Structure 1
């Protein structure tokens, strides 16, 4: 039976590939993007996020089967904080009632293998505490130190959203309502955002040094889309609270063979 799925950041890259794959499978896709989409809005702006959610409700009749929360930026500035964490969380929470009305609701979030890279613990804590004003101020302070320190805006936003997924997935709000909540952590992916990086040998070397991918190298957007499509399908009937790193082996290299803590 066809399902109605919202895909954010759907105008290009992973979002576009995911929307196209879902439509090929027979689903109805509502594309959300800044300028080009069925629903448009700036997901760094809380008021626009609320408007986007309301417009989606009008289009779906209040019943939404899936959400691929893919929109994000890799900016070494507080914009990453606003969109990648606060924008993503606010939209998910705003759409949760519509998802809860579905017989098989699923959410898949684009995180990043940058979750495993260096981050700013203070910023991560502020994000998870929901302190937007302090988090944005901390992000701006990091950005003012230059692009290397500013990169922590991106990696910290992805670390925080990955942790948020694991915190929220088993709760009554999500698991208790039958809503599966997972994340996909891409490594190196060939998209519009990385075209310039991969265009030169030096850029490719820097990418490999920062995030090696020994298994089949750089991914295409379609490889990530396939994982999103499974996670928002009814076939995913038991997996929740997971962040699947689709990274060519970077996670295994970075964290080694024992990542399970006894409790």
Structure 2
């Protein structure tokens, strides 16, 4: 059966690979990105998020079968908070009414294994409280110091993982038969990580921080395969899961812990 998918971040990396897989399978894909997409918007802004919903509504005819919220940044800037957390949630919440019209609705977000690292607690608290202004202010403070700027990405991803866990079983999602889950990749060879993996020394240092004993760094299509399955009709029962596709980072860092 041909399904209608919305893929954010569709112009590069995991989003682009997901779009290609879905298109190859014959599905209709509405790509969203800040450039070169069916819907060109900035998910770091309220106006861009509102335009996303309006444009997808028009292009889909009012029904979307699955949303793959992939768009994200990995820079030590406030934009990372705006896009990775608030933009992702606005995408999922804004398109939820269109998912409700599907016979097999699915939604998947992209978190990160970086959610395993210690967060900046003040930023995390403001994210969980949905205080965008306060979160951006705290992110600005962190970004001003090279020693703390790196906390922004992992903290935003931890908050997103917590939102998925908290939201997925609720009446609006599970109660409406909408499967909501996330993946948490390790190091994927995308434009986002190009600078970090460009040299042997850079790859060595990154591997020390992000241990991936099973086959090491991998390509966007590997993550896309998991995303596409989670967004498919076959996935009828996973709810609120954050699946670590990370070559073993989660197992190495957390050991026997199941949380």
Residue 167 of structure 1 corresponds to: 166
- Between the aligned partners of 2:148 and 2:53, the Cα distance in structure 1 is 34
Q: What is the aligned residue count?
A: 259
Structure 2 residue 113 is the aligned partner of structure 1 residue 113: yes
Residue 102 of structure 1 corresponds to: 102
Gap runs ≥5 in structure 2: none
Residue 239 of structure 2 corresponds to: 240
Shift of 1:206: 1.2
The ranges of structure 1 where at least 4 consecutive aligned residues each deviate by more than 6 angstroms after the TM superposition are none
Shift of 1:258: 2.5
Residue 38 of structure 2 corresponds to: 38
- Between the aligned partners of 1:59 and 1:13, the Cα distance in structure 2 is 23
Secondary structure at the residue paired with 1:224?
Answer: helix
- The correspondence of residues 123-202 of structure 1 with structure 2, limited to 5 A, is 123-146=123-146, 148-202=147-201
Gap runs ≥5 in structure 1: none
- Between the aligned partners of 1:93 and 1:6, the Cα distance in structure 2 is 13
Residue 217 of structure 1 corresponds to: 216
Shift of 1:9: 0.4
Please give the TM-score of this superposition, normalised by the length of structure 2: 0.98
- Between the aligned partners of 2:193 and 2:82, the Cα distance in structure 1 is 21
- Between the aligned partners of 1:196 and 1:159, the Cα distance in structure 2 is 23
- Between the aligned partners of 1:76 and 1:209, the Cα distance in structure 2 is 20
Please give the TM-score of this superposition, normalised by the length of structure 1: 0.97
**What RMSD, in angstroms, separates the aligned Cα atoms of the two structures?**
0.9
Secondary structure at the residue paired with 1:149?
Answer: coil
Secondary structure at the residue paired with 1:68?
Answer: strand
Q: Deviations over 1:113-171 (max 9, x none)?
A: 1010121111111101001111110110111122x301111111000000000000000
